[in-house]
Structure 1
Amino acid sequence: MSRIAIVGAGPGGLVLARVLHLHGIEAVVYERDASPDARTQGGMLDLHTESGQRALREAGLEAEFLRMARREGQDMRLLDHTGKLLLQEDTPEDAPMDRPEVDRADLRAILLDSLPPSTIAWGRGLRHAEALPEGRHRLHLTDGSTAECDLLVGADGANSRVRPLLTDARPAHLGAHIIETGIPDLVRTRPDLAARVGRGNYWAFGPDRSLSAQLNGDGRLRVYLTFHGPEDWLATCGIDFDDPAVARARLAGLFADWAPQFTELIDACDDTVVPRTLATLPVGLSWPHTRGVTLLGDAAHLMPPAGTGANMALLDGAELGLAIAAGGGDLDAAVRRYETAMFPRAEEAARFSARVHEMLMAPDAAQRLLSFFQPADV
């Protein structure tokens, strides 16, 4: 039996395991993926000094992070759907690393390399957990095996299998869907588009739709097309996402009334087409303290994408690990301290993310964003 079981090998779960490891406390991370390379890890993260970067400092990994972080990833270009450039911010080479970008895959590699290989139980995701006496839990895993623990930590994301042990809350649709595609090796294959998009974030907004792009450290440009619509839009929009070439052509057609530079960007993408629906948990979600189980990251406080979710997950993992390390073996008291601090912190971040999402969903999102980044002098 493991004293501490962490479900999910995302950033938050791995930081928790790393902080515990630094303090000589063993944990097992149960992960559904069969291996570290079973699937791609998504795009870039901007890690904030006071949250994500602080978590990596507590995990003893700040130097490794800074070696691969991209200061230039803080660059930004903001446009409207007519192609008008509203704002361009280029990061000086000597600018502080306040919110540098890092590839999700690189961050995960840093965290995995910092742990003994036996820490991660690959290919053993959670089917469901069963409460046992005295706060222990039995985990029923996807490979048919079981495991028991004194503390179960749900770090398993939006559709957490651990969350139902604590609350009936479920993610709610946010009124938008994101389709991810991309251009591999952008600078070499399409230097013209590379010059247009820039080194960091490229955003364009119009009524009911938006396009954003982000250059990753591996040279791939990830392109995200956002469509406003009801929860079943992906199923009813008439796009066959199982046929990437056809889907990409249809997606470009949905931007035909925008400036040609945007459809040119979509046309240059490869056949990677990944649809996702945006959802959120209630702002300020909490639960009565329950012995032997807690949550972190999206499992605890899924929020609209606004650059805060991953930072909160990392900080959750670090603070829970530090509370356990300082707890003298009293896991229940450590979890109470963690939850007492996490609930208000997560609520503040979720309210900010909700305000940003509301702004991005507005018909005049481009102008609102411009005012957000360049507020008028008072």
Structure 2
Amino acid sequence: MLANKNIAIVGGGPGGLTLAKLLQQKGIAVKVYERDEHKNVRVQGATLDLHEESGLEALKQAGLLDEFYKAYRPNAGRIKIIDKDGVVKMNDHTAKEYSEDRPEIDRAPLRKLLLNSLNDETVIWDSHFIKMEPYKDGWMLHFKNNTTAYADVVIAADGANSKIRKYITNITPIYSGITVVEGNIYHAAHNAPKLWEMVQGGKVFAFGDQQSLILSAKGEGSLSFYTGCKVHEDWVKTSGIDFSSKTSVQQWFLSNFGSWNTIWQELFTSDDVWFVPRPQYHYPLNQQWQTKSNVTMLGDAAHRMPPYAGEGVNMAMQDAVVLTNCLINETANMYNALQKYEQQMLQRAAKVTAITLESTAMLHSSDAIVKMMQMMNEVQHT
């Protein structure tokens, strides 16, 4: 069915690259169109924990588990739960037993090992997708650099703000009630020494006033963080905050986290820092659409959700496995293959989204610390 077909994956994140690797293993020709200018662009975001049944299973099927364990970060999943006053309530670092059943890896090394596994010239860099239009039996893709490419089948792996999703469905996302301000402090041992020491190479979950602050150390020495707050949907536009200005973001933090211990203000002592606001959305649990025979989507493009259950990358990589299997095992036609994939993907996404929304509410409740400690204890004794 896929002989002599041009398969285009738009988006070179973990989901798109995993799909490319799995398809190439089956002898299928595929191109990945990625908007980054080159492979060495700095990768933002916290570390990723890969789950046995999804992310790790995808790497296993791709023959990349050994490479993963060369690049992963032992003990990076160890957690401290801290209140807004800086009092430690739970500390994985002092636990006698610690299970690393969800090993952590930084985003950049994960991307690197996936890229290195692909055939030469699989990824077409500097390909910022603008639009596509029906052409012959497939699509003509247009990119910001004025290039075009034809594909018989297009796979949208272009993230939460996917530009391809609209060619598949007009279902719009639902605001979760939480907006995250994501930040990254470079050279954190020097620029935020107290917080860097607090994290101990792992993660810190801090809670208070129905707000959250999650810190995550990265292997290259930076510290990523996410503030989670209950604000209205258009807060980013109406707040008056200039998120390109450290001073403006700091003034907001001092006001909205004003009752928190001053230790957290170390997030803003350096100019070597980066910020971006991210309102958190999810799609309806019962979303459905009419399958098309030449375009589908995976990962956040299909089922974006808040990050508070650590499922995003795992879902995307599992989508890649399921989609590959459907494409390989269905011999009748492309429509049947994509329909089977989408049915399985949407059913699984509905369950995971429901769990994620429960976790999101829990972490921004008045007793978040108590509830999270209960959850951690239940997990450890499962």
SS where residue 219 of structure 1 aligns? Answer: coil
Call closer, same or farther: CA 1:190–1:207 in 2, change over 3 Å: closer
**What per-residue deviation string (whole Å, max 9, x for no partner) do you get for residues 63-83 of structure 1?**
111111123011011122233
158, 170, 173: which one pairs with 2:172? Answer: 170
SS where residue 274 of structure 2 aligns? Answer: coil
Instruction: Name the residue aligned to 2:120.
Output: 117
Query: Would you say 1:51 and 2:81 are equivalent positions?
Result: no
1:114 deviates by 0.9
Instruction: Work out the CA distance in 1 between the residues paired with 2:197 and 2:365.
Output: 29
Q: Partner amino acid for 1:270?
A: D
Instruction: Name the residue aligned to 1:302.
Output: 304
153, 164, 186: which one pairs with 1:151? Answer: 153
Q: Partner amino acid for 2:224?
A: R
How many residues align structurally? Answer: 376
Instruction: Work out the CA distance in 1 between the residues paired with 2:163 and 2:184.
Output: 31
Instruction: Work out the CA distance in 1 between the residues paired with 2:96 and 2:264.
Output: 29
Call closer, same or farther: CA 1:247–1:230 in 2, change over 3 Å: same
Note if contact 2:131-2:141 (Cα within 8 Å) is conserved in structure 1: yes
Matches within 5 A, 1:76-91: 76-90=79-93
SS where residue 282 of structure 1 aligns? Answer: coil
Instruction: Work out the CA distance in 2 between the residues paired with 1:337 and 1:320.
Output: 9
Instruction: Name the residue aligned to 1:339.
Output: 342
Matches within 5 A, 1:1-378: 3-90=6-93, 97-132=100-135, 134=137, 136-187=138-189, 192-267=194-269, 270-305=272-307, 306-328=309-331, 330-375=333-378
SS where residue 80 of structure 2 aligns? Answer: strand
1:352 deviates by 0.9
**What per-residue deviation string (whole Å, max 9, x for no partner) do you get for residues 150-179 of structure 1?**
211111111212211221112232222222
Instruction: Work out the CA distance in 1 between the residues paired with 2:134 and 2:180.
Output: 37
**What per-residue deviation string (whole Å, max 9, x for no partner) do you get for residues 305-327 of structure 1?**
12001100011112212332334
1:346 deviates by 1.4
**What per-residue deviation string (whole Å, max 9, x for no partner) do you get for residues 331-374 of structure 1?**
33332332232121111111111111111232322222222223
Note if contact 1:9-1:29 (Cα within 8 Å) is conserved in structure 2: yes
Q: Could you tell me the percent identity over the aligned residues?
A: 36
Instruction: Work out the CA distance in 2 between the residues paired with 1:147 and 1:329.
Output: 27
Instruction: Work out the CA distance in 1 between the residues paired with 2:149 and 2:186.
Output: 42
Note if contact 2:191-2:269 (Cα within 8 Å) is conserved in structure 1: no
Note if contact 1:31-1:125 (Cα within 8 Å) is conserved in structure 2: yes
Q: Partner amino acid for 1:164?
A: K
Note if contact 2:132-2:141 (Cα within 8 Å) is conserved in structure 1: yes
Q: Partner amino acid for 1:316?
A: D
Q: Which runs of 5+ in 1 are unaligned?
A: none
Cα RMSD over matched residues? 2.5
1:96 deviates by 5.0
Instruction: Work out the CA distance in 2 between the residues paired with 1:44 and 1:93.
Output: 24
**What per-residue deviation string (whole Å, max 9, x for no partner) do you get for residues 179-231 of structure 1?**
22333333466554333222211011112422110111112111222222112
Note if contact 2:46-2:225 (Cα within 8 Å) is conserved in structure 1: no
Note if contact 2:36-2:128 (Cα within 8 Å) is conserved in structure 1: yes
TM-score scaled by structure 1?
0.91
1:271 deviates by 3.1
**What per-residue deviation string (whole Å, max 9, x for no partner) do you get for residues 93-121 of structure 1?**
99554111101111111111111231112
Q: Partner amino acid for 2:265?
A: T
Instruction: Work out the CA distance in 1 between the residues paired with 2:99 and 2:65.
Output: 15
